[in-house]
Structure 1
Amino acid sequence: HTIEVRLKKHLADARGLGLVRDIHDLGITSVSNVRVVDVYWLDADLTQDSLELVCHRLLADPVTQEYWYGQHPRSEDEADANCHSIEVAYNAGVTDPVEGTIIKALQDLGVGEVRAIKTAKRYLIEGQLDAPQLEAICDKLLVNPIIQHVVREEPVGFPENPQYEFTLKEVDVGQAGQEFGFSEDELKTITTYFQKQGRNPTDAELETLAQTWSEHCVHKTFKAQIKLGEKVTNNLIKSTIMKVTEELSKPWCLSVF
């Protein structure tokens, strides 16, 4: 099922007005209006009554919004030659941030089994625009190509969730140094510990240690003894960044990271 939700025409579209300003900032001043349509694709067996319930109770605010499901005629705006429709959706494999929330809400409504949901946004851009200008608007304002794409045709089905069988893997501790980035001393400590345990570590255990002891998490360089010429500094982070914060001791600094 395809459901589209938009603000009623007599109401100002705040998202659209913000985009108009952004488009004008690009130097494209021929755009007079933008309206945003929320699009939902539902993989579910729903009756018409259930669809009405979903739209009316969950996806649309009946006071300020209107909705359609299935095929619907284009609005007068869309029929205008100067109205450009651009639909943007998430790439395959990218988690849709509202999918889980909507599925949970649909389950609470008791409308039946909902297997999957996809969402998109359709932008109705009014103004005389050529192809390079539309491309600039998409690239700079509407689409993050890392996680999104422009929908050029109706989506073909919903991908099945891949099946995964978890396997606990053990790693030869002697070969873990290069793969996980441990220093020589760290690797000796790990080796000694697991020799006492009488087993090899799992990949999850080594990954946990690698993350916990990483430069990013524990700041090994900052905490090391630094020698520059004749000057020796113990724990650079405590003697610089943390030292200044502690000396200032501002009462409004409740927590400092």
Structure 2
Amino acid sequence: MTRKLLHTALVLSLFLPGCRLENLSADQLDLITNSVSSTFKAARPISDEEEYYVGRAVAAKILTSYRLVNNRKLTDYVNLVGQAVAIHSEKPFTFGGYHFAILDSGEINAFACPGGIIFITRGMLDAVSNEDELAAVLAHEVGHINHRDGIGAISQARWTEALTTIGSQAAKTYGSKDVAKLVGLFEGSIDDVFKTLVVNGYGRSQEHAADLASLNYLAATGYDPHALKTFLDRLVARSGGSQGGIMKTHPATRDRVDNVAANMPEQKSDAAHFSERSRRFASILGK
């Protein structure tokens, strides 16, 4: 039996009990097989190359809502800091590389698109007090990419919905509309990631894991890991119950701050290097 017929036999045995291959037309077999192939493809891990292209599409969608800051010197500086922490992560190189850009928005936020594209807002740059805090924010986003949190927003939901769609057809013949629905499920992956990054945010466990990753990257790079706690403390103090911007997509709750404090690396900050970084930060950002 060919691979195509094996797939068809599998879906028939699972969802269409009592139905025999010889009772289906060639067109019906093709429709069922196409649906099953899409489902099998969704079940396997997304490759690094596919993640990169998903991330590019998500970045393009974000740029329909935000404009980029047209400041080469500032953008180069953010990339310098971002690349420094990324090279000390578990995944120093991605398929398309890490790229950092600034969104022209007063909102305090940052977004990590799958594959390595990271956006930070002008409002976030205004909110950080020094280069170490900037590195902490970027390292947190690099952590999300290393943990594939953006891609994780796709797979389970899409896979479950695909199975549900196939199961719902148990009592009737597949038609072109049914196949189109399955295709649409996977085409909606970009929207899944966008909504997670921009609208809903990640879960508490994902935020905690990205914070811990940030601490490790900062320590390995030579930045002061305490900068992350200092920045989170300030966010909690200034939030005043507000749930907009980063407080919605990266909620700086007190337990998140406590988690960072409990896992702080034992590293002494080099005062001379910190002063040098602070001068560089002030000169570029005008602070």
Instruction: Compute the TM-score of the two structures, normalised by the length of structure 1.
Output: 0.24
Structure with the higher fraction of residues in helix conformation: 2
Q: Which structure is richer in relative contact order (CA contacts within 8 A, separation 6 or more)?
A: 2
Instruction: Compute the TM-score of the two structures, normalised by the length of structure 2.
Output: 0.22
